[in-house]
Structure 1
Amino acid sequence: MEKASSNLSIGIDFAYPFRLHQVSFEAPVCEGTRRERVFLIGDSSSSAEFFVTIAVFAFLYSLAATGVYVFFQNTYRENSRGPLVDFIVTVVFSFLWLVSSSAWAKALSDVKMATDPEEVQLLVSACRVQTNKCGSVQGPRWSGLNTSVVFGFLNFVLWAGNIWFVFKETGWHKGASRSVGGASEKQSGTFTQQTQHQGSFDQSRSYSAHGDLSQVSGATSYSNQM
């Protein structure tokens, strides 16, 4: 490679949906002024698109659910089907947030590895020559993508924590509450009846004792008259 061309810099632009195998850049070669086209390695588009799709649908459903809670609160509570559908959708979105966030975290790790400056230099034929020295001027910035992974798992925690509050609005929870309340009232009524029966039994015993005492008194008076 000519000494005059040794200071040439190479810029690589890649973005969503991270089909890296379609991203290319031109690199100089040692033979004269000819340049070669180099493609990156990897394809993380499926995980990235899946993550974004779940985020979009979750956002739209949240807007729709907020409208129902605010403007149709009475209808929502009177109809048992609405809370049940809300509960099922919340469980499904919680699971999807976990899966999509995990998949996107793995895909981001693969993107970082494929775009690492040392890995990219191995794709350039001139850098594989031992007499040539290639170095990186500036690496990729991952702050925004790292934040997206964090927010993905935070959304999973938020949706999973909301399952209990949505479940309390369903007929399943209300039916279980009625069953527990009915069992408690039944046990309380049984205990009250047992207490009343015990009181009646004590009164009958007291009455019988008084009757026996009157008979004894009568017998004693008769003996004194004799």
Structure 2
Amino acid sequence: MMTGFRLNLSPLKEPLGFVKLVEWLTAIFAFGSCGGYSGTNVISLFCGNGTNETLSAAFSYPFRLSQVSLVETNLTFCNHTAGPTHLVGDSASSAEFFVGVGVVCFLYSMVALLVYLGYMHVYKDSDFGPIIDFLLTAALAFLWLVSSSAWARGLQTVKHATGDAGIAATLGVCAQGDVTCRVTEFASLRSLNVSAVFGFLNLCVWAGNAWFVYKETRWHAQKHGGQAAPQRTQVPAAI
């Protein structure tokens, strides 16, 4: 059997190769829209005497919010002193896990496409190639489920910590009766919402692709090959 590279684009016309190409693209959108994020919220403090103060909260991937400073040193706002204050919450573990799964899937999709387009003759003649491909595809689909769920929860933490309620609960002067705190300029979270959507989209794509890979394994062939063909009813011979 020849094992050399032989370029053949026909697998892209079949679900096995086409879906793998889709996986490669959706993985890029998932980790790219999350991993490169940075934004700044502007917080306005409306004082009872009619004056206003402003603060800013700049946050970015991997969203270690507890390290984001609202007030660096002792400052006075609306005649009230505020000590060093940071945002509350830490979504780094879920964000890094999500991005890590996306990068791994991106790399695996490239390797799988290389095998499909150049070594399909080896892939189909081997029992272990399709089985390993199926097990890895199923495992990565499960990782998308876990990481997407974790990141969706982490994203809610980011939204709450940087929103009106989170800022008001974190900044001590906001609890004073003559001070009103409100986020007047929100950083766009559109790309983070897109990343969460693509995370669950990847789950669907990888779970669907697991079926097409399973059909290439010997388990599927044995299951259908082992089914006995329907027997013909024998008609008694005439006496």
Q: Per the shorter chain, which TM-score range?
A: 0.7 to 0.9
Q: 1:98 to 1:30 in 2, by over 3 A?
A: closer
Aligned-pair distance for 1:91? 0.7
Where do residues 13-162 of structure 1 align in structure 2 (5 Å cutoff)?
13-26=58-71, 28-30=75-77, 36-162=83-209
Q: What are the superposed Cα offsets for residues 168-189 of structure 1, whole Å, 9 maximum, x if unpaired?
A: 1000111122212xx217x24x
Q: Is the 8 A contact 2:62 2:96 kept in 1?
A: yes
Distance of 2:57 and 2:220 partners within structure 1: 56
Q: Sequence identity of aligned pairs in percent? A: 40
Name 2:229's counterpart in structure 1.
Answer: 184
- Unpaired runs of 5+ residues, structure 1, are 206-226
Q: Is 1:165 matched up with 2:212? A: yes
**Structure 1, 129-138 or 159-168: larger mean CA deviation:** 129-138
- With normalisation by structure 2, the TM-score equals 0.73
- With normalisation by structure 1, the TM-score equals 0.77
Report how many residues are paired.
191
- Unpaired runs of 5+ residues, structure 2, are 1-46
* RMSD of Structure 2 on Structure 1 (CA): 2.4
What is the DSSP-based 3-state SS (H/G/I as helix, E as strand, rest coil) of the residue aligned with 2:84?
Answer: strand
**Structure 1, 133-142 or 104-113: larger mean CA deviation:** 133-142
Q: 1:52 to 1:82 in 2, by over 3 A?
A: same
Aligned-pair distance for 1:119? 2.2
Distance of 1:54 and 1:142 partners within structure 2: 21
Aligned-pair distance for 1:26? 2.2
Distance of 2:181 and 2:144 partners within structure 1: 41
Q: Which amino acid aligns with 2:175?
A: R
What is the DSSP-based 3-state SS (H/G/I as helix, E as strand, rest coil) of the residue aligned with 2:70?
Answer: strand
Q: Is the 8 A contact 2:78 2:179 kept in 1?
A: no
Distance of 1:116 and 1:149 partners within structure 2: 19
Q: More helix per residue: 1 or 2? A: 1
Aligned-pair distance for 1:150? 0.4
Q: What are the superposed Cα offsets for residues 64-84 of structure 1, whole Å, 9 maximum, x if unpaired?
A: 000000000100000110000
Q: Is the 8 A contact 1:17 1:44 kept in 2?
A: yes
Q: 1:56 to 1:30 in 2, by over 3 A?
A: closer
Q: Which amino acid aligns with 2:139?
A: V
What is the DSSP-based 3-state SS (H/G/I as helix, E as strand, rest coil) of the residue aligned with 1:18?
Answer: coil
Name 2:54's counterpart in structure 1.
Answer: 9
Q: Which amino acid aligns with 2:70?
A: F
What is the DSSP-based 3-state SS (H/G/I as helix, E as strand, rest coil) of the residue aligned with 1:9?
Answer: strand
Distance of 2:89 and 2:61 partners within structure 1: 13
Aligned-pair distance for 1:30? 4.4
Aligned-pair distance for 1:114? 1.3
Q: What are the superposed Cα offsets for residues 83-121 of structure 1, whole Å, 9 maximum, x if unpaired?
A: 000010111011110111011101111111111123213
Aligned-pair distance for 1:131? 1.9
Q: 1:67 to 1:9 in 2, by over 3 A?
A: same
Higher relative contact order (CA 8 A, sep 6+): 2
Q: 1:9 to 1:100 in 2, by over 3 A?
A: same
